């Protein structure tokens, strides 16, 4: 993969997101471009892309957020009243997947500690 580095200071970065964060002036909000949907809601496309990148090795997370985003876009395009419910559902499902992943990691770490003792 490409090496990302700051031409100004020469520092190298693991990914483009870290490079952009490095080049965002201190005190400014994180760069998070958004798409304005027909109903006025904003889809934070920057956050979505970061999520995909950081969860590239977790297909369940990618599947869940892809489908949820797709349904949310459909609802926004059609001005469906269920959009608020869909957004809440996305947040709950995403948090549950993160919880499941954290729990699995905790249990794996505990098993590794017991096996090495």
State pLDDT tens for residues 60-116. Answer: 889 988 988 888 888 888 876 766 676 666 666 666 666 666 666 677 777 777 665
Q: What is the pTM of this model?
A: 0.66
What whole-number distance in Å separates Cα of residue 38 and Cα of residue 50?
Answer: 24
What whole-number distance in Å separates Cα of residue 21 and Cα of residue 94?
Answer: 24
Average pLDDT value over all residues in the chain: 80
**Domain ranges across the chain:** 1-31, 32-116
Helices within the chain (DSSP H only)? 16-23, 45-54, 59-77, 83-116
């Amino acid at each position: 993969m490409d090496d990302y580095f700051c031409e100004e200071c020469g520092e190298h970065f693991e990914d483009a997101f870290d490079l952009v964060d490095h080049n965002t002036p201190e005190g400014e909000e994180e760069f998070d471009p958004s798409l304005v949907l027909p109903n006025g809601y904003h889809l934070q496309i920057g956050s979505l892309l970061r999520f995909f990148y950081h969860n590239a090795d977790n297909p369940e997370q990618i599947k869940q957020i892809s489908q949820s985003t797709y349904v949310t876009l459909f609802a926004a395009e059609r001005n469906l009243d269920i959009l608020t419910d869909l957004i809440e559902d996305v947040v709950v499902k995403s948090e549950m997947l993160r919880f499941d992943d954290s729990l699995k990691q905790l249990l794996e770490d505990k098993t590794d500690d017991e096996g090495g003792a």
